[in-house]
Amino acid sequence: MTEIEELRAANEALANRVGKLEDITDIRRLQFAYGYYIDYCHYEDVVNLFAEDGEVVFLSGLYKGHKGIRRVYIDWILNLFNEGREGADDGFLFDHIQMQDVVTVADDRQTAKGRFRGVLLGGSHDIRKFKPAGVPQQFMESGMYENDYVRENGVWKIKRLDYRLQWQAEYETGWAHTDAHLHQAQVLFPEDPLGPDELLDVVRPTWPYRQDFPVHWVHPTVARHMIKPKQ
């Protein structure tokens, strides 16, 4: 290999490394934007973060495509917490904090995987007349995301958002004395108008029950790969 060829190879390798770093930044920005849009009930913006054939896994149910994604975020969550109104509502707290991210971009830079921890502080102030049915007035929540991303027409989008609830608790009594107020889906759409398109073939117990949620990456020091189970 000539000196010019070596320089070209080194330049290509460096450009690929820089490109992957830019991809990681874009994906982090995408996931953080997801949290901010949910905070203030901008669910149309949430839906548009997903690829056309994207999907959501929530409470052991799989919601497919933009129709399924709209069903979980708009028909269910937006109506439950904000009576279907887009935008901030006085007296309603719904802060979704996205953090502890580990993002892995594929060598071809067309797909990626990301793990994030989500922490939620939510509830309704006394001034708010509307109180979501079956939801504590003040509550806390934490969950793990193990997501897939895809570059669609040059833009990173969420391919599969897989949220596994870790715990929920009423603020007054804490996680030691309460269980999760959201539970596993049982009935599919359209029998349940808000139901998922499919049920996962694995059990995902909610708090106080716990199970491991394998990561997508290779261990950084011993190079052991924890295989993500097929779902």
The model's pLDDT over 26-76, given as tens digits with 9 standing for 90+, comes to 999 999 999 999 999 999 999 999 999 999 999 889 999 999 999 999 999
Residue 40 lies in a domain: yes
209 domain residue, yes or no? no
Residue 153: domain span = 3-199
| pTM (two decimals) | 0.92
Q: Is residue 75 part of a domain?
A: yes
Cis omega (within 30 of 0) on the bond before 190?
A: yes
Model confidence at 224: pLDDT above 90 = no
Q: Which residues pair with 164 in a beta bridge?
A: 144
Residues 194-209 pLDDT 10s: 999 999 988 788 889 9
Neighbours of 178 (CB within 10 A): 19
Residue 42, in any domain of the structure? yes
Rounded distance between C-alpha atoms, residue 22 and residue 118, angstroms: 23
Buried b (16+ CB within 10 A) or exposed e, 186-215: eeebeeeebbbbbbbeeebebbeeeeebeb
147 assigned to some structural domain:
yes
Cβ proximity of 48 and 30 under 8 Å:
no
Reported as a single tens digit per residue, the pLDDT across 150-177 is: 999 999 999 999 999 999 999 999 999 9
CA 83 remoteness from chain centre: 22
In a domain, 62, yes or no: yes
| CATH number, residue 136 | 3.10.450.50
3-state SS, one letter per residue, for the chain: CCHHHHHHHHHHHHHHHHHHHHHHHHHHHHHHHHHHHHHCCCHHHHHCCEEEEEEEEECCEEEEHHHHHHHHHHHHHHHHHHCCCCCCCCCEEEEEEEEEEEEEECCCCCEEEEEEEEEEEEEECCCCCCCCCCCCCEEEEEEEEEEEEEEECCEEEEEEEEEEEEEEEECCCCCCCCCCCCCCCCCCCCCCCCCCCEECCCCCCCCCCCCCCCCCCECCCCCCECCCCCC
pLDDT digits (tens, 9 = 90+) for 115-135: 999 999 999 999 999 999 999
207 occurs within a structural domain: no
Determine, yes or no, domain membership for 191: yes
Q: How many domains does the chain have?
A: 1
Whether residue 36 contacts residue 48, with contact meaning beta carbons closer than 8 Å, is answered with: no
